[in-house]
Amino acid sequence: MQECKECKVIEELRSKLCSVCLTQRLIRGKWKILIIFLLKDGALRFSHIKKSIPKVTQAYLSSQLKELEATGIIVRHSYNQVPPKVEYYLTDEGKSFIEVIDNMHFWGVDYINKNLKK
């Protein structure tokens, strides 16, 4: 097994943690999880994604979308028309990650109810 540069843990744990490190690397970035979540119901144009995340800059959103595309989580579809039209949608790999995001949501709600509502 190739050594994981992220984990640096004992051999017995490495096989379990490397998959976690890989997942973390694929979704690393302030807005990637939210972008995936926004695309769960279908394709969206860049402008709609930007409006849905008001604090993100256009350049940073563009870089996050390019990284998600490079990892095969989303697809960018450019229509040959004037004015240009570009849509982003989840690949099957990206759709499979929705379950992870849903579980994060449920965990977050549970944490809020247990720890923050007093």
CA dist 113 → 19, 98, 109, 116, 118 (Å): 30, 23, 6, 6, 8
Residues 60-95 have pLDDT tens digits of 999 999 999 999 999 999 999 888 899 999 999 999
Across 18-101, where does the E strand assignment appear?
A: 44-45, 74-79, 85-90
Cα Rg, the chain, nearest whole Å: 17
pTM, two decimal places: 0.79
Coil, strand or helix at 91 = coil
- Residue 73 is encoded by which pair of tokens? 């989580």
Residues 5-30 have pLDDT tens digits of 656 665 655 556 677 777 888 888 89
| Strand-pair partners of 85 | 79
